[in-house]
Amino acid sequence: MTPYEPEQIDRIVVLDFGSQTCHLIGRRIRERGVYVEIVPGETDPAEWFSETVKGIILSGSPASVHDADAPYPSNAIYSLGVPILGICYGLQFTTHTHGGVVAQSSSREYGPAPVSIHDRHPVLEGIGSRFLSWMSHGDAIRQLPAGGSEIASTVHGVPAVISIPSLAFVGLQFHPEVTHTQNGALILDNFATRVCGARRQWSVQDYRKQLESEVRERVGDDNVLLLISGGVDSSVVAALLLNALPAEQIHLMYIDTGLMRKGESAEIGTALKALGAQNLYLIDAADDFLTDLAGVADPEEKRRIIGDMFVSVQDREVKKRFPGRYLLAQGTLYTDLVESGHGVGRHGARIKGHHNVASPLVQAKREAGLVLEPLAALYKDEVRQLGSALGLPVTVVGRHPFPGPGLAVRILGAVTRERCDILREADAIYIQALRDAGLYDEIWQAFAVLLPIQSVGVAGDSRAYGDVIALRAVVSRDGMTADVYDFKPDVLRGIAAAITNRIPEVGRVVYDVSGKPPATIEWE
């Protein structure tokens, strides 16, 4: 991981005990200009503490303090002389290890819980006497730790905010990092700036200059290969390389799986050439992918086949073109490292495998010290800001997320070239209509899905069976939860008519009104 090097920049360190929302803590604070680093919760402070660390946050955890292998930080954190914020589990083990009692809560609280404030504390500055918090805990404090006082409690009488002045500790039973907690971002900002006195010194624009000089120093006269996926992250790395290095050293490879959106491959080529790309290799591997996918309907099987094929095409093409030494650049983000278990402690549940981190080519390159991951300290929204600063067009930087397996997980049932074409066309009509109506940027992710059923309709005087397209549009901050986008009925009606008029195979269009949870954003 690339740490943010300048010694003089203030930072808050988050100790990660495996909570799935841990990286949101970092993101919320960085959104307001204070630099944050997340480190595995049990790491020795000697590895991360310096005088630039102004405060420490202890994250939540799926564990209970009473579990035999519960993750604990080094006891030394309590004598480093900087304020500490404990969130949920972080509050509970500080209580448990400092003379208090934590027990299974008689009222397990999951979801919204009103909190009443009894006492003032700088962490609650600017918040009224009551607010709605988001809880997710089985354990709660029965008895306060030594020297502890209750600042706020829930309606069930559970301590919601406590302070231990002798340790410069403040603890929250709820999760301020999730958007459902009212004023949650303000609480985190209060901790960073009011309690810890950290200065707002973090900006992506400043970081850009540093990244470019780091890239130049690291690469020297070597060649760099970057695999472009069509997504925002690899496009931003490409733009960064093209800004930092002579174009002849940069080699950009794009594997067209045949499962991309309409016009995507051409659009990417155009954007990269506009930034000065000279060595651009567009590999048409649609036959390889579609042949292996023939007859496969199971979504996980589709994902596995696509992942394997991607690795094998990548290997074949790279060997063919790059026999000598080169660096491999990747668009790995901070969240990718955290989610794949690289950024968290041994207790962090592995959420999803990420091919950036796991593929054999990458592993071999990593062992040889030849992987370049310039975005590894950044969050997605910061990557978008960096992309704009580097001159990428808004059509690339603001593009909705697209899953690695592409249209294959949006064609329910077996994938064929014909079904890809039908879906590609429907998706393009839908997305263009959103752009024309000025709605594209209001929506976090929108796409069409081709269902594995046929439905009856009328064509002239006779009955006809046609394909069914489902439209999806959600608003979200990070894809972890999502709400349905509320279209005006006329807009949906217009899109449905355009799709059925222009694609003869499609007889019916439906709109998916499910939130996440319980549904996921993708259908497979």
Residues forming the site for ligand XMP (CB under 6 A): 303, 401, 403-405, 445, 479, 516, 520-522
- Smallest CA-to-CA distance from 111 within 155, 65, 67, 58 is with 155
Residue nearer to ligand XMP on the CB measure, 152 or 482: 482
Among candidate residues 22, 23, 37, 88, the one labeled active-site is 88
- Smallest CA-to-CA distance from 433 within 492, 381, 375, 518 is with 492
- Smallest CA-to-CA distance from 383 within 329, 331, 339 is with 331
Q: How far is the CB of 242 from ligand XMP (least distance, A)?
A: 24
Are 141 and 102 spatial neighbours (Cβ–Cβ below 8 Å)? Answer: yes
Q: How far is the CB of 97 from ligand XMP (least distance, A)?
A: 37
For residue 495, the tally of other CB atoms under 10 A from its CB is 24
Residue nearer to ligand XMP on the CB measure, 84 or 521: 521
Q: Which tokens is 394 given?
A: 């808004």
What is the Cα gyration radius of the chain?
25
Active site residue 125: no
Q: How far is 190 from 125, CA to CA, in rounded Å?
A: 7
For residue 218, the tally of other CB atoms under 10 A from its CB is 15
Q: How far is the CB of 397 from ligand XMP (least distance, A)?
A: 16
User: What is the 8-class DSSP label of residue 467?
Assistant: E
Residue nearer to ligand XMP on the CB measure, 274 or 351: 351
Q: How far is the CB of 231 from ligand XMP (least distance, A)?
A: 8
Q: Which tokens is 381 given?
A: 């929204």
DSSP strand pairing (169-172 vs 159-164):
antiparallel
Q: Which tokens is 68 given?
A: 């035999």
Q: How far is 460 from 384, CA to CA, in rounded Å?
A: 49
Q: How far is 20 from 60, CA to CA, in rounded Å?
A: 8
Q: 335-349 burial by CB neighbour count: b if 16+ within 10 A, else e?
A: bbbbbbbbbbbebbe
Q: Which residues pair with 39 in a beta bridge?
A: 15
Among candidate residues 23, 137, 175, 400, the one labeled active-site is 175
Are 120 and 162 spatial neighbours (Cβ–Cβ below 8 Å)? Answer: no
Length of the chain in residues, anyone? 524
- Smallest CA-to-CA distance from 224 within 354, 365, 390, 336 is with 365
**Taking the C-alpha atoms of 319, 323, 324 and 328 in order, what is their torsion angle to the nearest 10 degrees?**
-10
Residue nearer to ligand XMP on the CB measure, 95 or 445: 445
Q: How far is the CB of 479 from ligand XMP (least distance, A)?
A: 4
Q: How far is the CB of 516 from ligand XMP (least distance, A)?
A: 5
Residue nearer to ligand XMP on the CB measure, 477 or 516: 516
| HEC profile of 199-210 | CCCCCHHHHHHH
In the block, which residue shows the tokens 């102004």? 54
Residue nearer to ligand XMP on the CB measure, 167 or 309: 309
Q: Which tokens is 157 given?
A: 């009488």
Residue nearer to ligand XMP on the CB measure, 109 or 339: 339
Among candidate residues 37, 109, 177, 339, the one labeled active-site is 177
Q: How far is the CB of 295 from ligand XMP (least distance, A)?
A: 20
Residue nearer to ligand XMP on the CB measure, 40 or 405: 405
Q: What are phi and psi of 102, to 5 degrees?
A: -115, 130
Are 202 and 386 spatial neighbours (Cβ–Cβ below 8 Å)? Answer: no
Residue nearer to ligand XMP on the CB measure, 44 or 441: 441
DSSP strand pairing (84-87 vs 169-172):
parallel
Q: How far is the CB of 449 from ligand XMP (least distance, A)?
A: 11
Q: Which tokens is 193 given?
A: 């700036």
Active site residue 175: yes
Active site residue 88: yes
Q: How far is 89 from 21, CA to CA, in rounded Å?
A: 12
Residue nearer to ligand XMP on the CB measure, 156 or 303: 303
Q: How far is the CB of 484 from ligand XMP (least distance, A)?
A: 13
Q: How far is the CB of 403 from ligand XMP (least distance, A)?
A: 3
Q: Which residues are catalytic?
A: 88, 175, 177
